[in-house]
Structure 1
Amino acid sequence: MQETTIRQRLAGILIALALLLQIVGFTGWVSTILAVSYLLWLGVVLLWRDIPRRSRLQAAALIALGLGMLLIARFVYGADIDWPGMLTGNTFVVAMLVGVSFISLIGKQQGRKGVPGQSVTGAGGILRTWLGVHFLGTILNLSTVFMVGDRLARHNPLSTPQFLALNRGLSSAALWSPFFASMGVVMALVPEMNYLTVAVVGFPLAMLAGLFTALELRQRFDLSDTVGFSLSPRSLLMPVGMAALVMLFHFVLTPALSIVSIITFLLPLVAIASNLPEGLKWTRRRVNQHTLNRLPAMRGEISLFLAAGLLTLGLSTLLEAATGDSWSLFAEFSIPQALISFATISLSALLGLHPIIGVSVLASMLPLEGAEQTLFAFVALSAWAVGTSVGPLSGINLSLQGRYGVSGYHMMKNNLIYAAALSSGVVVMISLLGAWLNV
């Protein structure tokens, strides 16, 4: 592991402290949202020079636009701006991302060769690779791609079908996983959405995406020598158990807290508790390693989410100041508007914009109410699943490029057919969901 500098370690400590304060805020004893936002932004400032150039430019553009729109709203339209609170956008989501990252502490580092499973070949191996990344990724997120990818790469350099299985397995989990950043963003933007309704529609669509991946790659490539990964039933215990715990807290123990809030405190606590049988010294060492090494490595996604939050605030404030409460992008949000929104966000991702930008901008232009929030949530998650799979600058494609050397353009070109097929399924599901919700 590359040694971190004092500056990076300090940033990691600030990010971890922000997570701790966010959890304290859930108790209701004291409001910590300003402190959390300042600590996260200070961490980004310390890590700014380490952010990859493309991501840094994109984040800088979002920050400049957000600040510019706030200044116009204040000095042109006379809007009242909460300047101390302007940095709080998406801090809930970033805190959740930081909390989820601690789940990598489950299991010992020494002697670990990857996720348990058995290698197979052919289309069945591709499907099993997809399933392994998909279900483990619902909890472990991007780290699962590296765990499975590194295991497969022990035999030979990864091939295009293997890259595509890794990419699609993770990106399609955005359709339903409550632990994904996409779900955190959506829940923050439309808090009255019905998660179970979205999951009922999104989960089968994700399974169809996996089946299509296996069939399509079998047609396009010779998979006879392509090594796949088979997920063992034992490996599913952790993600299924975590999901059950989250639902237990949400419906029984802490019903006043959102799923995002529950995930934020529950996953790090479970991860830390799983290390305690090894002793306090072992647990403290692993938490320190994670804080000083893993958290600074999250600089790209943290900066992007915070910058997008500032953009959303600036845009929504400017629109309200310039037009009042009477203007919105659509008079209503039903099936036609949902289809237009999905296409717009997906195409913007294809051009290089992260889906969070399109989702956040669109939400700031829509006064969504009731069932419209659930429909919008599915639109946003679907566009996220399509956009991150095909977008050359998405987090997963940039990560694959940095880890294994495959270019984002190569991934985009080989995912176009998949994106078109998945989009067709999304169109059908949006129509069914809209009719079901009667919007």
Structure 2
Amino acid sequence: MSAQTADAASPEVAPRHALAGLAILVGLLSRIASLAWWPAIEALTGPALWLGTALLWPDLPRRNRRQAGLLAGIGLGLLLVATFGYGARVDWSRVLDGNTQVVAMLVGVSFIGLIGNLRGQSRPPGHPVTGRRGLLGTWLGVHLLGSILNLSTVFMVGDRLARRAPLTMPQLLGLNRGLSSAALWSPFFASMGIVMTLAPAMDYATVLVHGLPLALCAGLVTMIELPRRFDLTDTAGFSMAPRSLLLPVVMAALVMGFHFGLTPALSIVAIITFLMPGTALATNLIHGPRWTLGRLHRHTLTRLPAMRGEISLFLCAGLLTLGLSTLADVATEGGWTLFETFGAGEATISFLAILASAVAGLHPIIGVSVLASVLELADGQQTLFAFTALAAWAVGTSVGPLSGINLSLQGRYGVSGTRMMRENLRYALIMAALVVAGILVMA
């Protein structure tokens, strides 16, 4: 099929959405160019991403719009108080730069969808994988594939399961927990990008050593808990072929190869930003330049505007973090932090506070950003902070009624975020105990 034919089959896109998609693409390209040869062009990244957000603002769900608007409003208000109340010197030309590196990474990761659809082999419709084995396949498939493809994997696997019948609660919980627990270790998640930005001296290898076993514990808890609560006899699961793991393994190997070999000076966030879209477009070039441009065109007009929820949340949270840190610094003359030191006790309190805020309806990025803005972390404390933040994100997004995964499940499959919260409370309590144990071990 030619690019023109594919384009013709694409739905019409409103001019506002097309312009927003183009602005987001410009934000990504300016970030990549700044990493390669033109550092000054990064000044365009923030304004371009904010322009795309402003154009897509009317399309945000009311709840998301209220939350993002509140974050941005508070952040801007704090900057004004710091400027006119305390005489702070704010570089207003860089106010829009908060979290833009992470947003650019998210946009870059979205291009992985151009490599192709999920090709896991499911059994014929008459012979579904059911019971514990099916639940394990669902959790493991979403966890491993989602560690690279993020939220899109939930829809790919969920839609495949929904072909037989509407999704049941065990299936929804498998999707929810499989994806959220990957935030504990995956370098391709927004959570890791945020944490690496807030704690640049963190040791990723140490986080991986502690986070990956905790993620496996999340799967084990799911496999023990759900069969006791639900009858899984007729609950179909996802059966995954070994070749389905090829993409995550290859992408992870490429990132590690660049990080430790080709571009050791760049952070993992930066490497992912250019490597993901570059790899995706390169795989399409085997079909010719016209095909590749056609797919890039459709991706820009449809997929990038569809990221409006996460982009707006991260940008507005970045503005809040800047406002909080600026005001706290100027009001205390740089002499106050929330904790004098950041050890096991402080990490545990921080984790529980962020988790409680997630249950109350705040996205974990808000708690993590606020915490980082009122801490003065030494290099040796940043790894513990990173683990704490990632764990709060992983558990908080699973149970939080307004987290991205639960809002997505609500919009796609009709389950309420409040019910997902109730069904995950026991899981969250168990995982919280395991996280606190992990904090004690690391500290």
Quote the Cα distance in structure 1 between the aligned partners of 2:290 and 2:163.
32
Quick check: 2:343–2:381 contact (8 Å CA) kept in 1?
yes
2:263 pairs, out of 238, 254, 264, with 254
Quick check: 1:136–1:236 contact (8 Å CA) kept in 2?
yes
Quick check: 2:119–2:244 contact (8 Å CA) kept in 1?
no
1:308 aligned onto 2:317: yes
CA shift for structure 1 position 32: 2.4
Equivalent residues in 2 for 1:6-405, closer than 5 Å: 6-107=15-116, 115-118=120-123, 119-405=128-414
Give, as a single letter, the amino acid of the residue that structure 1 aligns with 2:184. L
Describe the superposition over 1:322-369 as per-residue Cα deviations: whole angstroms up to 9, x where unpaired. Answer: 001210000000000000000000110000000000000000100101
Describe the superposition over 1:42-69 as per-residue Cα deviations: whole angstroms up to 9, x where unpaired. Answer: 0011000001111100000001100100
Quote the Cα distance in structure 1 between the aligned partners of 2:227 and 2:52.
45
Quote the Cα distance in structure 1 between the aligned partners of 2:286 and 2:130.
38
Aligned to 2:295, the other structure's residue is in SS state helix
CA shift for structure 1 position 29: 2.8
Aligned to 2:174, the other structure's residue is in SS state helix
CA shift for structure 1 position 28: 4.5
CA shift for structure 1 position 370: 1.6
Quick check: 1:133–1:166 contact (8 Å CA) kept in 2?
yes
Quick check: 2:351–2:391 contact (8 Å CA) kept in 1?
yes
Describe the superposition over 1:272-320 as per-residue Cα deviations: whole angstroms up to 9, x where unpaired. Answer: 1111111212111111111100000000100000000000000000001
Quote the Cα distance in structure 2 between the aligned partners of 1:7 and 1:73.
35
Quote the Cα distance in structure 1 between the aligned partners of 2:399 and 2:361.
9
Describe the superposition over 1:383-414 as per-residue Cα deviations: whole angstroms up to 9, x where unpaired. Answer: 00010000000000000111111110110000
CA shift for structure 1 position 124: 1.5
Quick check: 2:181–2:218 contact (8 Å CA) kept in 1?
yes
Quick check: 1:345–1:383 contact (8 Å CA) kept in 2?
yes
Describe the superposition over 1:105-131 as per-residue Cα deviations: whole angstroms up to 9, x where unpaired. Answer: 012xxxx68643444100111111000
Describe the superposition over 1:142-196 as per-residue Cα deviations: whole angstroms up to 9, x where unpaired. Answer: 0000000000000000000000000000000000000000000000000000001
Quick check: 2:109–2:149 contact (8 Å CA) kept in 1?
yes
> TM-score, structure 1 length as denominator?
0.96
Quote the Cα distance in structure 1 between the aligned partners of 2:91 and 2:168.
51
Give, as a single letter, the amino acid of the residue that structure 2 aligns with 1:349. A
Gaps of 5+ in 1: 435-439
Quick check: 1:115–1:147 contact (8 Å CA) kept in 2?
no
Quick check: 1:386–1:419 contact (8 Å CA) kept in 2?
yes
Aligned to 2:33, the other structure's residue is in SS state helix
Quote the Cα distance in structure 2 between the aligned partners of 1:14 and 1:255.
30
Quick check: 2:118–2:244 contact (8 Å CA) kept in 1?
no
RMSD of aligned Cα (Å): 1.1
Partner of 1:437: none
Q: Sequence identity of aligned pairs in percent?
A: 63
Give, as a single letter, the amino acid of the residue that structure 2 aligns with 1:344. A
Quote the Cα distance in structure 2 between the aligned partners of 1:272 and 1:196.
30
Quote the Cα distance in structure 2 between the aligned partners of 1:220 and 1:280.
53
Quick check: 2:72–2:319 contact (8 Å CA) kept in 1?
yes
Describe the superposition over 1:212-249 as per-residue Cα deviations: whole angstroms up to 9, x where unpaired. Answer: 10111100000000000122110111101100100000
Quote the Cα distance in structure 2 between the aligned partners of 1:427 and 1:414.
22
Quote the Cα distance in structure 1 between the aligned partners of 2:27 and 2:165.
41
1:413 pairs, out of 422, 430, 439, with 422
Give, as a single letter, the amino acid of the residue that structure 2 aligns with 1:270. T
Quote the Cα distance in structure 2 between the aligned partners of 1:28 and 1:185.
24
Quote the Cα distance in structure 2 between the aligned partners of 1:46 and 1:7.
6
Quote the Cα distance in structure 2 between the aligned partners of 1:27 and 1:406.
44
> TM-score, structure 2 length as denominator?
0.96
Matched pairs, number: 430
1:4 aligned onto 2:13: yes
Gaps of 5+ in 2: 1-9
Describe the superposition over 1:78-130 as per-residue Cα deviations: whole angstroms up to 9, x where unpaired. Answer: 000101111100000000000000000012xxxx6864344410011111100
Give, as a single letter, the amino acid of the residue that structure 1 aligns with 2:70. A
Quick check: 1:114–1:148 contact (8 Å CA) kept in 2?
no
Quick check: 1:113–1:151 contact (8 Å CA) kept in 2?
no
Quote the Cα distance in structure 2 between the aligned partners of 1:239 and 1:2.
30
Quick check: 1:175–1:385 contact (8 Å CA) kept in 2?
yes
